[in-house]
Chain A
Amino acid sequence: MAHYDHDSLPLTELVAPADQTGVAEAVRAAAEQGAPLYPIGGGTSLDYGVRPVEPGLGLLLGRLQRLVDYPARDLTITVEAGMTVAALSKRLAAEGQRLPVDVPQADRATIGGVVAAGLPGPRQYGRGTIRDYLIGLRAVDGLGTAFSAGGRVVKNAAGYDLCRLLGGSLGTLGVLVQVTLMVKPMPETSALLACSLPEWETAERLLSALIQTQTLPVAVELLAGPTWQDDPALGPLPDSCVGWLVVGVEGSLAEVEWMIGELREQWRQAGIDAPLAFRGNRADPLWERLCEFPSPAHDDGRGEFSIQASVLPGDTVGVISRLARADPACSILAHAGNGMIVARLALEPDRLAALLESELRPHVSPLGGTVVVLSQPPGASLAREAIWGPPRPAQALMQSIKDQFDPKDILNRGRFVFPSTCP
């Protein structure tokens, strides 16, 4: 069924419950034994987090793919967590709607996995994250008890927002079995405008100017390194340039044309004369690459680490230039409007850990930012602090929440920021 990578998790056994009750039973059984349990959606982010060492049960959620309710006129949808993002998008597209969240490998990634991982994407700048669309959920806590949070209305102030709490928790508070999402009308069209950058200072100048325009971009991306050296859509990066700036817009034809014209004019004044414009369907391949951030093939077969630095938007360019200096061979995709910089680095684990420890975190921490490892190559197994960084001031508070929802620490034991309770 799922093409998950066995090597990422120490699985003793796999179960694939047919329904939500089956999930609760599986969790209850694991809780009784106090055995770790690893929920698996599409298996696209199993490298995210600390590599667990304690053998446990793989809980496959791929059979939970029922469409529960889709009142399209309300612009909400309720589906089971194992539905793939591609299947969800197809349903929505039939009604002229969409979930405006970019998800790589959408034909495999499940909506539950997307909520649990909470990873960023290009459209986050204009459209927000999955957590902004999650209005209700159903999950099974670490004792096997199912609970619901939120509801099916787009505005709800009744009680604590557990939807946000579970979003990005990597399945450590509960196994998601069902979600209700607010969805949006599909925009008529989109376009991407790109220019090559002679140096990073130009990028910061263009980004600052962008803040003052009346255009409403949905994506503001900075690209650098081998992945983007000779991109199928963008073409070869001119020799004298350090990277690309790509700005994405969406809306009606008239709105998109107006914004492209406005941006062109602004860039022309900044000395950028011939930006590349991709409109409508012609923008799709580049949108896809911005979402997928494909890895360049390494001739020597080396694996890659993927890391994410998060800073205030105004600090993005500084982090990029530091990264590019530290490892000129790294590829960078920065969601510059949000200050999120994703980089792929083909380094030995020790070298990567040293880079994080002595270069990146000391630079980013004083700016109020953080650096985490998003994935590691097969064979690598970085320690918790190398992956998530030093424990945060709120660690104790988070741990007490974890203890409340999963007192036996069975859900994704050891993967997230919570140290394994087992000796």
Chain B
Amino acid sequence: MITTAIASLAKDLRRKLGADGVLSAGSELIVYECDGYTIEKNRPDAVVFPRSTAEVAEVVKLCNRHDVPIVPRGAGTSLAGGCLPLGGGVVVMLTRLKRILQIDLRNRMAVVEAGVPNIQLSRALAGTGYHFAPDPSSQGASTIGGNAATNAGGPHTLKYGVTLNHVLGLEAVLGDGAILCLGPVNDPAGLDLLGPLVGSEGTLAILTKLWVRLTPNPQEYRTLRAIFNTVDDATNAISDIIAAGIIPAAMELMDQGIVAAAEEAYRFGFPLDAGAIAVIELDGLAAGLDEQQGRVDALLRKWHAREVLQAASAPERELLWKCRKMAVGAVGRLSPSYCIQDGVVPRTRLPQILRRIAEIGGKHRLRIVNVAHAGDGNVHPILLFDERDKEQVGRVLAAGHEILEECIRLGGSVTAEHGVGVEKIDFMERLFAPADLEAMRRLGRAINPSGRLNPGKLLPSADGPSSKAACGLAQKTDAAESAANGPLRS
């Protein structure tokens, strides 16, 4: 019966998308069991590859008819389990929506389909004098639709803002298969739906097309690396720079552990004995950079930076950023498994949170290395472990929780840019009061009344897990299947 239900769904999907647009054999589905968050896995009932917004809408309507969850997915780089097919259902791959439709310099915007990789837009813009500012470390793979769905950040959000600040308009498929178009012209006659849809992690709509803002390339960069003996000195210097009213384009921190990994992988020439390295990029008009650099330099020296070096050439700058952005990947050299956390504190609390992270690591006998978008107060502690050792996994989870609790205690949040997904869902009740969560649920009920879009993500349900909404065909009982096709949540 269950197998028949899946077969019938797959048959309907194939009728709409063609044989090469649907995967439903068990072996083909393994890849889609999880995304960058590998702690939980579950196999979807089917994976589809629509080529257009209209096909996405057809898929959504079919999923409604078959009463299965719909899980949108871009490149699958989410570190929070945003693409985990919790309870099965249909994973909707957006990667075939991959056209850059328009680059419109006069209006400083580009129109792209959701599956365009972030890096591809940057490449297409080379030579125009403009770029797409959001630059998550995953940008080589992650899609612009995914960046928008998770409101992704990156090093340069410090000056340029997160993805939301760069989305002017969007086209999306709603939970009932209707197509919604917002922007790119800002319309005062109505609610700002762009805000809540961006960052909704696929729980309100499937983004299919985006109008994004283009940002003028800076006239000049000054990319500095400051070498510190201690993490404390580095975080104090970073806090002081912000407090002095200087907002660099980016201000990143790497501690000794991560520097060692990056150095082994990329041979940049970082000193291995440094307690921490701050990568600080100043950009803008050449006319203003000497003065800014002078002020930054003075604050770095005040906090005992033993060396401040400037990238001497464009290739050196690119290599430095590559090392920073690929540093997390290099951690694989240090440990068989690792878990990267995403927490944020008010920027002046940076020294405290990094001290506490070290203490928590000690307490749980875990090695933790750190990268941080330090200027934003956004920390990414990376917990090293061996996933074959269940006892270690338990300690990693406990330490991760303690770090996030500490972020909350210091006035911060449990995710700055990776999103809630399934990973942080239990923290929402610690971060927000019941009335706050209820306000978010109302938005969810208004936009995704059936609850079929990416169920079990972002928001804990008011009355425990909504098992039916989060239930794919393979998990369904006959009784549930024969239930009427009504809204799953009131």
| Interface, chain A (partner B; CB < 8 A) | 71-76, 96-97, 118-119, 128, 131-132, 141, 145-149, 151-165, 167-169, 173, 184-186, 208, 211-212, 214-216, 251-252, 254-255, 257-259, 308, 310-314, 338-340, 367-370, 372, 388-389, 392-395, 397-398, 400-405, 417
Contact = CB atoms under 8 A, between A and B. Distances in A.
B286 to A, nearest CB: 8
Contacts of A402: 191
A169 B191 contact: yes
Nearest to B107: A312
Nearest to A214: B219
Interface in B207-248: 216, 219, 239, 242-243, 245-247
A252 B162 CA distance: 25
A173 B440 CA distance: 12
B443 A257 contact: no
Is the interface on chain B under 10, 10 to 19, 20 to 34, or 35 or more residues?
A: 35 or more
A156 B161 CA distance: 11
Nearest to B411: A152
Contact of A259 (B174, B185, B285): B285
B436 A148 contact: yes
Interface stretch (B53-61, B63-71, B261-269, B417-425): B417-425
Contacts, number: 250
A399 to B, nearest CB: 9
Contacts of A161: 151, 164, 195-196, 198-199
Nearest to B285: A255
B411 A159 contact: no
A173 B438 CA distance: 14
B288 A185 contact: no
B180 A156 contact: no
Given A71-B348, A156-B413, A161-B164, A252 B442 contact: no
Contact of A312 (B185, B344, B433): B185
Contacts of B190: 388, 392, 394-395, 398, 417
B315 interface: no
Interface of B: 104-108, 129, 150-151, 153, 157, 161-162, 164-165, 174, 180-182, 184-196, 198-200, 204, 216, 219, 239, 242-243, 245-247, 284-288, 291-292, 342, 344-348, 373, 376-378, 411-420, 424, 427-428, 431-433, 435-440, 442-447, 449, 458-459
Nearest to A167: B192
Contacts of A208: 106
A397 B443 contact: no
Given A155-B377, A310-B185, A164 B346 contact: no
A312 B440 CA distance: 32
Nearest to A310: B185
Given A157-B415, A158-B414, A159-B428, A74 B347 contact: yes
A59 B162 CA distance: 35
A157 B199 contact: yes
Contacts of B243: 72-73
Nearest to A148: B436
28 contacts: A71-B346, A71-B348, A118-B192, A119-B188, A146-B435, A147-B435, A149-B439, A151-B412, A151-B431, A152-B346, A153-B344, A153-B412, A158-B420, A158-B431, A160-B204, A161-B195, A162-B443, A165-B192, A168-B188, A255-B284, A340-B186, A368-B185, A372-B189, A392-B190, A394-B190, A402-B191, A404-B446, A405-B439
Of A75, A164, A400, most B-chain CB atoms within 10 Å: A164
Contacts of B440: 149, 159-160, 162
A416 to B, nearest CB: 8
A158 B424 contact: yes
A157 B184 contact: no
Contacts of B129: 212
Contacts of B445: 404
A417 B189 CA distance: 6
Contact of A313 (B108, B180, B285): B108
Contacts of A141: 439
Contact of A314 (B107, B286, B287): B107
Nearest to A162: B439
B191 A147 contact: no
Contacts of B285: 214-216, 251, 255, 258-259
Given A96-B245, A404-B445, A155 B195 contact: no
B110 to A, nearest CB: 13
A149 B188 contact: no
A181 B216 CA distance: 26
A155 B418 CA distance: 11
Contacts of A157: 150-151, 153, 162, 199, 342, 413, 415-420
Contacts of B153: 155, 157
A395 B286 CA distance: 47
B194 to A, nearest CB: 7
A392 B189 contact: yes
Nearest to A390: B189
B328 to A, nearest CB: 17
B415 A313 contact: no
Contacts of A311: 185
Contacts of A215: 285
Contact of A216 (B184, B216, B417, B446): B216
